[in-house]
Amino acid sequence: MAEEQNRVTFETRDEYQRKPIAEKIIRLLESGAKVSPLVIDGHWGAGKTEFCQKLKNLIEDSESNLRPIYVDAFKADHADEPLMTLMAAVLKALPEPEREPLIQKALPAIRFSIKAALKAGVSWALKQDAADIAEGFEEEVKNAGDEIINHSVETLLANHVEAEKNINTLQTALAELAAETPIVLFIDELDRCRPDFAVNMLENIKHIFDVEGVQFVLVTNFDQLRSSINHCYGNGLDAQRYLDKFVQFSLSLSDTHKPRGYEVVLASVTHLRRQIAQSELLNNKSITSAGVESFLFSLVEANRLSLREVETLVLYLEIYQSLTDGKGVAENTIFGYCLLRILGVYLYCFKPGIAERLVRNKFELSEIASTLGKTILTRIIHKDT
């Protein structure tokens, strides 16, 4: 019941008017066009996770034939097994009669994946301890003869054949499962994962889950994903060209919307307005007055704050109000003082270096406030006139 109450949908809240975007994505996924993996790109704090959950819920609540499955990649990257993470998500979403047969077909591929990871770990450990190996060991290995080499090659070939067979079995099982009800896996928070896990996830999607009826939507920050690729393979690699091998189609979440149908408004400004309205500490006449509120909105616009940064600013303003017993920005506070105090909180929050200079050199207050607030205050004056 609690989970149902916390379930977020576009009907519950869509202040950034993103439902039409979600509907178009669903149409693409249903169309048969080869758009998977599809990337929903957005900068840090742009509301990607909430949009992803709303999109998944919209599919569930509609008459769509798609079966949406949500995966929080960041919660799973400690496990170091992208294949197991993806399979666990699929199995969890399946009804009991479909679950057991897939488990039996998936186990060999997962076992091989874990075995390979363990072997890689042992190899790494041996390399780390190479300096401690007795002198002459390397020479003994060289003299071991062709028999050991031949046996190693045969083992590698056998393992490769076995791996291919296991993966093919798994792919066939997934294709059969998705034949009637196509599966869409939403992979969220990939940009927050360790670089090696994020890259391994991409490679698993490409090489193992490239199955008819199984589609992927990656909700991530493209810039961070490129950084993860360069972290793993070096800056000499063209990360975008590497990504092009995996990603079929991408779109960006807009940070603006048109609440009245014509005026373009930053989504974070709308978010700030809503946050203030819901805050018992901030929803007073002084803050919601035209001039002070416009100053806050202009701060957000001028610095292109993200939705998450807006929440941080609101939290710091609430802390300030709480510590001053509500007198920091009170209803009887002089307008100019309100602006300076809000600017001070903003500086403390996002420009700590400047805030420290203010504390050390109080005489710099007007100079710094003027430098940072000049554009903002000018905009307010022009708007009011």
Residue pLDDT, tens place only, 203-215: 888 888 888 999 9
Kindly tell me if the per-residue pLDDT of 362 is higher than 60: no
Q: What's the rounded Cα separation, in Å, for the pair 305 and 308?
A: 8
What is the average pLDDT score of the chain?
A: 78
Q: Which residues of 181-212 are buried (b: 16+ CB within 10 A; e: fewer)?
A: ebbbbbbbbbbbbebebbbbbbebbeebbebe
What angle is formed at CA 317 by the lines to CA 314 and CA 318, rounded to 5 degrees? 85
Q: What is the pLDDT of residue 7?
A: 86
Question: Of residues 147 and 342, which shows the higher confidence score?
Answer: 342
33 is written with which tokens?
Answer: 């066009």
pLDDT of 103 reads 75
Retrieve residue 160's tokens: 């490769």
Locate 375 and state its tokens: 């554009």
Counting other chains too, the contacts that 147-152 makes at CB distance below 8 Å and 24 or more residues apart are: none
- Higher-pLDDT residue of 366 and 190 is 190
Token digits of residue 308? 């998450």
Which pTM was predicted? 0.74
Instruction: Count CB atoms within 10 A of the CB of residue 128.
Output: 9
**Domains, the chain, ordered by start:** 2-252 (3.40.50.300), 265-384 (no CATH)
Angstrom distance (rounded) from CA 252 to CA 221: 9
Alpha-carbon distances of 292 from 65, 228, 331, 377, rounded to whole Å = 50, 42, 11, 10
What is d(CA 354, CA 334) in angstroms, rounded to the nearest whole number?
Answer: 24
Q: What is the mean pLDDT of residues 355-373?
A: 56
Tell me the pLDDT band of 162, cut-offs 50, 70 and 90.
Answer: very low
pLDDT tens for 320-355 read 999 999 888 887 788 888 888 888 899 888 888 776
**What integer pLDDT is reported at residue 113 of this predicted model?**
55
Q: Which residue bears the tokens 């806050």?
A: 296
Span 129-155, average pLDDT:
44
154 confidence band (pLDDT: 50, 70, 90): very low
Check the CA dihedral 332-337-341-342 and report its sign. Answer: positive
pLDDT given at position 10 = 94
> Predicted confidence band at 133 (pLDDT cuts at 50, 70, 90)?
very low
Q: Tell me what pLDDT residue 111 has.
A: 60
Provide the pLDDT confidence category of residue 83 given band limits of 50, 70 and 90: confident
pLDDT at 43: 86
Read off the tokens for 106. 């998936």
Task: Please tell me what DSSP assigns to residue 184.
Answer: E
